[in-house]
Structure 1
Amino acid sequence: MNGTDRVSIDTADVWPEDAEDDERLVVNWFVSKGSQVEAGNSICEFQVERVDVDVPSPVAGTIDPIVLEENAAFERGDTLAYISHE
């Protein structure tokens, strides 16, 4: 990939351990396709059992693409977006 890798962004690491529900909604994207992010930046927010959870970027790079739009339902571990990084 010409020195560029893609990293998937999912919710497995930030899903509340005590949450009994395995399906939730993307509430808000703080970035859009093509946005530059740093590792640790909050890139989106999802809600599970009335708790809002921020999803941090695992690496620095460029958001490309966003897989699930706002209000999309997903399950624990589903890919929300990808980050291209070098």
Structure 2
Amino acid sequence: MSRVAIKVPELASKVTGKYACECEKIPLDMQEKEGLIFWLAELDDWVEEGEPICEGEVQKTTIQISAPCSGMIEKICLEDGDTFKFGDILGYIETEC
């Protein structure tokens, strides 16, 4: 078993490494702002890689954050309505790899 961090993407692209974002481009000035997180998945839920598991609201824009791998949501670091910055760790997925 291993642990994989769920992160808010730091770079402006459709796919940033293993972390996916629904918007094609997040402007750099927006990446310096804070946003609010809202979970679609819950603690101990099984999620598949690429499945949307939470949403972030930044400057009237909603981004979906997808699971970086398949596994069970082991820990949630930021709860619904908490403030995040781009690059923050939102939680962890336990995977069998």
Contact kept in structure 2, 1:19 and 1:48, CA below 8 Å: no
Give me the whole-angstrom Cα distance separating, in 2, the residues matched to 1:64 and 1:51.
28
**Which of 19, 22, 26 is residue 17 of structure 1 equivalent to?**
26
Tell me which protein shows more helix as a share of its residues: 2
Gaps of 5+ in 1: none
Gaps of 5+ in 2: 10-15
Residue 74 of structure 1 deviates from its aligned partner by 1.3
Given the alignment of the two structures, is residue 51 of structure 1 paired with residue 61 of structure 2, yes or no? yes
Kindly, what percent of the aligned residue pairs are identical? 32
Give the root-mean-square deviation of aligned CA atoms. Answer: 1.5
Moved more, 16-25 or 47-56: 16-25
SS at match of 2:42: coil
1:66 counterpart residue number:
76
TM-score by length of 1: 0.87
Give me the whole-angstrom Cα distance separating, in 2, the residues matched to 1:50 and 1:67.
23
Residue 19 of structure 1 deviates from its aligned partner by 4.6
Contact kept in structure 2, 1:37 and 1:63, CA below 8 Å: yes
1:27-42 map, 5 Å:
28-42=38-52
SS at match of 1:20: helix
**Number of residue pairs aligned between Structure 1 and Structure 2:** 82
Residue 17 of structure 1 deviates from its aligned partner by 2.8
The one-letter amino acid of 1:20's match is D
Once the two structures are superposed, residues 18-46 of structure 1 have per-residue CA deviations (whole angstroms, 9 ceiling, x without a partner) of 152321110x2111110000001000000
